[in-house]
Amino acid sequence: MKTRFGILFALVLATAPAAAADIDSAHAKKTLEIFTKIIGIESVKHSGKVQEVADYLAGELVAAGFPRGDVTIVPVDDTVGLIARYRGDGSSGRGPILLLGHMDVVEARREDWVRPPFELTRDDKYFYGRGTMDNKFGVAQLTSTFIRLLKEGFVPDRDLFLVFSGDEESGMVSTRALANERPELSGAEFALNSDAGSGLLSADGHALSYVMQTGEKYYVTWELTVRNPGGHSSMPRPDNAIYDLARAIGGIEAYRFPVRWNDTTLEFLDVTGRQLGGELGDSLVRFAANPEDRVAAERIAVEPSYVGMTRTTCVATMLRGGHAENALPQSATVTVNCRVFPGTPVAEVLAALKQAAGNDAVEFTEIYPPEESPVSELTEEIRAAVSAAVEPRYPGVRLLPWMSAYGTDGTHFRAAGIPTFGVSGVFMDPADEFSHGLNERVPIKGFYDALDHWSTIIRELAGP
């Protein structure tokens, strides 16, 4: 997950939260035990440690009473996925529900962190560690919820599946395999993703909103390279790989993709703008009323928190060039990462970038195969189930559909024909959001307050 709180929603505050969760319950203790263990495993890409996380989680599920044959570790390249089946009685006659999360995390340099990144530590307000938010929070909460429901004797009216990927933060190879190559998952009615959505708190702890992710921009990255014969630095050429690439980068920097919208983004921007007020709020409302309003669109385009909701964005993220300080560069390369608005073809984005670069000699190399996916239509049934989970915690909180500017495993499940909704259990202040960054953390209160989130949703959607 790329940050879930990139936007500060200035919405009407809900009333104060309900009473604190029972942190001494068996469910609370088991959730913390799982959380502690998996935070302590350095499951970064190419480490082989995702297997260790999967083995541990599978062992916990089997020890709790799930049949060993219903807990499957799926090897994919140098990582693994995990599938755990919670058998229903079939009385609803409906397809399974998938519950998504990912076991891998982004890298963390120990020397940069104030605290050890791969050990769960705490102070009086926060749990710290890589993955405390993204996404071992969701993995621990979902796994513990399955164990809790089984011990309580809950029998769903349809099958439920935990589906945990092993490389969401890199190539999503395991995600593609789980979404497209597992027959037991292909008939799912929908999926709920623990790695997206969630609640936003003000600095003083009031709920601002709860957003349900119904769509996401898809992710595609290109490397742009300029090549040159080079030579001795004492004899400069009229052409230079670094200068030529710099001009191409400048052209891409100046280019703005056309505005795009859907029902989800227009509703979100309208509600947010009316509550935000001021010049920016007015621009959001005007855009929602008329996306062809160029003045409003240009105002939004300079707001990092909102531009991703209104158009495709492409940005230079890495740069390398040359081979010696006393030699002319023989090549220069920039990495350009794009977050593409749903419904926009990759070929259209590539053509726009090439035109903006303005140099036919620039080589474009696609790094990852992109996965385009549709927006999922939020049903009243799912909205009501999520409301049942969040309303007791923050009475009066407003629920909104939302399209994220980052990508998750949900992209591939939507593309496979399975509607997917991001409905994480966490509420937190955006100032506390450090996913992918230094000293990642989650509020202790947010951790414990989420303990009933998934069991409530599951009972609402699959209970007798």
* pLDDT tens, position by position, 182-191: 999 999 999 9
Same structural domain for residues 359 and 210? no
User: Residues 71, 162: contact at Cβ < 8 Å?
Assistant: no
Same structural domain for residues 290 and 431? no
**Three-state secondary structure call for residue 455:** helix
174 in a structural domain: yes
Say which CATH number the domain at 252 has.
Answer: 3.30.70.360
Q: What is the pLDDT of residue 219?
A: 86
User: pLDDT band for position 332 (50/70/90)?
Assistant: very high
Residue type, 328: L
Phi/psi for 192 (5° steps) reads: -115, 125
Rounded Cα distance, 130 and 138, in Å = 13
Residue type, 349: V
Same structural domain for residues 186 and 239? no
Same structural domain for residues 232 and 352? yes
228 in a structural domain: yes
Decide the pairing of beta strands 218-227 and 363-366. Answer: antiparallel
Same structural domain for residues 228 and 179? no
Same structural domain for residues 416 and 428? yes
Same structural domain for residues 185 and 132? yes
User: Residues 158, 94: contact at Cβ < 8 Å?
Assistant: yes
Instruction: State the distance between the two ends of the chain, measured CA to CA, in whole angstroms.
Output: 33
DSSP 214-235: EEE-EEEEEEEEEE---EETTS
413 in a structural domain: yes
Q: What is the mean pLDDT of residues 176-202?
A: 95
Which of 342, 366, 390 is a domain's end point?
366
3 in a structural domain: no
Same structural domain for residues 133 and 196? yes
Residue 171 neighbours by CB under 8 Å, 6+ apart? 45, 77, 368
- The total domain count for the chain is 2
Same structural domain for residues 41 and 151? yes
Asked whether the predicted pLDDT for residue 269 surpasses 80, the reply is yes
18 in a structural domain: no
Asked whether the predicted pLDDT for residue 8 surpasses 50, the reply is no
Say which CATH number the domain at 65 has.
Answer: 3.40.630.10
Rounded Cα distance, 172 and 368, in Å = 9
Q: What sign for the dihedral angle of Cα 306, 307, 309, 314?
A: negative
Q: What is the mean pLDDT of residues 240-264?
A: 96
Which of 319, 347, 366 is a domain's end point?
366
14 in a structural domain: no
1 in a structural domain: no
Same structural domain for residues 419 and 322? no
User: pLDDT band for position 10 (50/70/90)?
Assistant: very low
Radius of gyration of the chain (CA): 23
Rounded Cα distance, 408 and 448, in Å = 24
Q: Which domain holds residue 309?
A: 218-366
pTM score over 0.75:
yes
* Average of per-residue pLDDT values in the chain: 93
Same structural domain for residues 103 and 148? yes
The residue among 307, 191, 331 whose CA lies nearest residue 259 is: 307
11 in a structural domain: no
Which of 366, 400, 422 is a domain's end point?
366
Write the burial class of residue 230 (CB in 10 Å: 0-12 exposed, 13-18 middle, 19+ buried). middle
Asked whether the predicted pLDDT for residue 388 surpasses 70, the reply is yes
